[in-house]
Amino acid sequence: MHHTDTIVLRSVEEARDEILRHVRAGASEAVPLLAALGRVVAQDVRADIDVPPFANSAMDGYAVRGAEIDSASLTNPVVLQIIAEVPAGGMTEVPVAPGTAVRIMTGAPMPPQADTVVPFEETDEGRPESLHTQGQVRVYKAVPTGASVRAAGEDVQAGTVVVPRGTLVRAAEIGVLATVGAATVEVYRRPKVAILATGDELVDVDEQPAAGQIRNANGYANAAQVLAAGGEPLQLPIARDTEAELMTRLDEGLRWGADLFLTSGGVSVGDYDVVKKVLLSRGEMEFWRVKMKPGKPVAFGIIDGVPLLGLPGNPVSAMVGFELFGRPALLKMQGREGWARPVIQATFTGRLTDRADRRQYVRVRVEQRAEEWLAHLTGEQGSGVLTSMMHADGLMIVPEGMTEVEPGNVLPVLMLHWPELPSDQSYTAAEAGLDCC
Ligand code: AMP
Ligand code: MG
């Protein structure tokens, strides 16, 4: 990146790649097991024991010597002497000698010399003809040797890496980590994101806007997006459009230890002068016009060593800009390898006309119909209409140059509330029939 004050035209992909090149996974921290949910493991986790730790029964039944029941059938059952009973959590040292069986419950350790479990259902257990009172059991089926036995280490072997570094921790990983005794887990730190809304017209949520003023929506929406993406947001006080105030706010963010700055407003052609001046004097910044709608003006650069993403002021643009540029960066900073949201193909039900030669991200609500998804407009698409974002499940991607979108057109929809898969190998926009998104 070089110091420039010209406005550079970028595609969404170019802008995102440039941003991703400038961020990397940070330090890690140890957290209690359950707090690792949604985080990325920063250090290989090895199994301290075999899982399961001992051979055990997969069924309620009888532990037997498999070779002895090879001839068992309904008409010609094998009769065995019951020598012991073992529940889960129990233990029997009594060996299963020829002609004997141990009554065993699911999860109980296999007794010595038994290699097979015959489920109750394949014996006279509980049936009128049961020999239970005589301490015997009839086996009605020649279940194969080894059946219904879970071998020690069948799932995980002691010493092996069971959850590698880079793994996104979901519920199943939590379970596996519990199994191998990982009471705490080393995960990548949550990036600290300092959020700075700029604008002389802004007042805070608990204030009554005077004439010409509006409430600061972006600071809150962006903070919520940061939280949802696993970051730790700090909302700096609103910055008035003066150099001095912007400088002060940036310093506050730096003192707090921000890993990323997220600003909104002040980067559009009309009024970016102050923000631009400050950003240029403090760091290496580029001002982009990204070929997208909404959210054309975007700034990106490094301020005192900290990356800064400057989003447009219009609330929808600020949110879409975060979704396309901020979120992938935050995920990468947490060690995530996948940042692409799932993309579905949907049939548009509305009509759009646009002269813009930019890719459009259109707010839609999707609905599943038999074999297809439908995409409905959520309303007025002005970049200030934040309620249409509220009702959106996804952003329908209208390619550059497509000026008319009609009912029946099938287009990709980037799903805003569906989690991205852990790795980009899994479900990428390219596979969904897009060369981009
Ligand atoms: P700007 O990019 O600063 O020119 O702002 C573009 C539009 O977004 C203007 O209508 C601003 O009033 C509005 N805007 C800027 N910042 C915010 C904010 N934090 N919350 C709500 N609207 C904003
Ligand atoms: Mg402004």
Q: Are residues 159 and 179 in the same domain?
A: yes
Say if residue 96 is in the same domain as residue 175: no
174 plus 242 within the same structural domain: no
Residue 93 located in a structural domain: yes
Is residue 379 included in any domain, yes or no? yes
202 Cβ inside 6 Å of ligand 1: yes
Specify whether 328 is located in the same domain as 203.
yes
Per-residue confidence (pLDDT) for residue 428, from 0 to 100: 41
Q: 282 C-alpha vs ligand 1 centroid, how far in Å?
A: 23
109 domain residue, yes or no: yes
Residue 436 resides in a domain: no
Res 337: pLDDT: 87
Q: Is residue 432 part of a domain?
A: no
**pLDDT lower than 50: segments of the chain:** 3, 425-437
Which residue among 300, 333, 366 closes a domain? 333
Q: Which of 150, 168, 197 is the last residue of a domain?
A: 150
Which residue, among 299, 321, 308, has the nearest Cα to 383 in the 3D structure?
A: 321
Q: Could you tell me if residue 76 is inside a domain?
A: yes
Pair (199, 274) in one structural domain: yes
Nearest ligand to the C-alpha of residue 263? 1
Q: Which atom of ligand 1 is nearest to the CA of 271?
A: 4
pLDDT at 420: 84
Give yes or no: residues 371 and 417 share one domain. yes
Strands (E), 65-131: 78-86, 100-104, 116-119
Element (H, E) at 13: helix 12-21
272 with 290, same domain: the answer is yes
Residue 274, pLDDT score: 79
* CB half-sphere exposure, 394, CA atoms < 13 A: 26
Kindly state whether residues 312 and 393 are assigned to the same domain: no
287 and 361 both lie in a single domain = no
Query: Which residue is closest in CA terms to ligand 1's atom 11?
Result: 313
200 lines ligand 1 (CB under 6 A): no
Q: Are residues 195 and 245 in the same domain?
A: yes
Beta strands in 291-358 (DSSP E): 292-293, 297-303, 306-311, 343-348, 352-353
Q: Which atom of ligand 1 is found nearest the CA of 197?
A: 19
Least distant ligand from the CA of 242: 2
Tell me how far apart the alpha carbons of residues 99 and 147 are, in angstroms, rounded to a whole number: 18
Which ligand sits closest to the CA of 197?
1
Q: How many residues does the chain have?
A: 437
Domain of 305, CATH number, reads 3.40.980.10
The pLDDT tens digits for 7-37 are: 788 999 999 999 999 999 999 999 999 999 9
Rounded distance between C-alpha atoms, residue 90 and residue 51, angstroms: 17
Q: Is the CB of 48 under 6 A from ligand 1?
A: no
* SS3 call for 14: helix
Look at residue 348 and give its three-state secondary structure: strand
**Which spans in 212-272 are helix H?**
218-228, 243-256
Query: Same domain, yes or no, for 267 and 146?
Result: no
Whether 235 lines ligand 1, by a CB cut-off of 6 Å, is: no
**Up-side HSE of residue 282: CA atoms within 13 Å toward CB?**
24
Q: Which long-range contacts (CB under 8 A, 24 or more apart) does 368-375 make?
A: 372/346, 372/347, 373/344, 373/345, 373/346, 373/347, 373/413, 374/346, 374/347, 374/348, 374/349, 375/346, 375/347, 375/348, 375/349, 375/411, 375/413
Domain that holds residue 202: 7-27+189-333
The count of domains in the chain is 4
Q: Is the CB of 262 under 6 A from ligand 1?
A: no
Given 309, 333, 357, which residue is the final one in a domain? Answer: 333
User: How is 374-436 classified by DSSP, letter by letter?
Assistant: EEEE-S---TT-THHHHT-SEEEEEPTT--EE-TT-EEEEEETTSPPPSBTTTS-TTTTT-S-
Does residue 137 sit in the same domain as residue 254?
A: no
Query: How many other CB atoms are found less than 10 A from the CB of residue 361?
Result: 27
Q: Which of 198, 216, 236, 264 to mutate to test the pocket of ligand 1 (most atoms within 8 A of CB)?
A: 264
pLDDT the model gives residue 437: 44
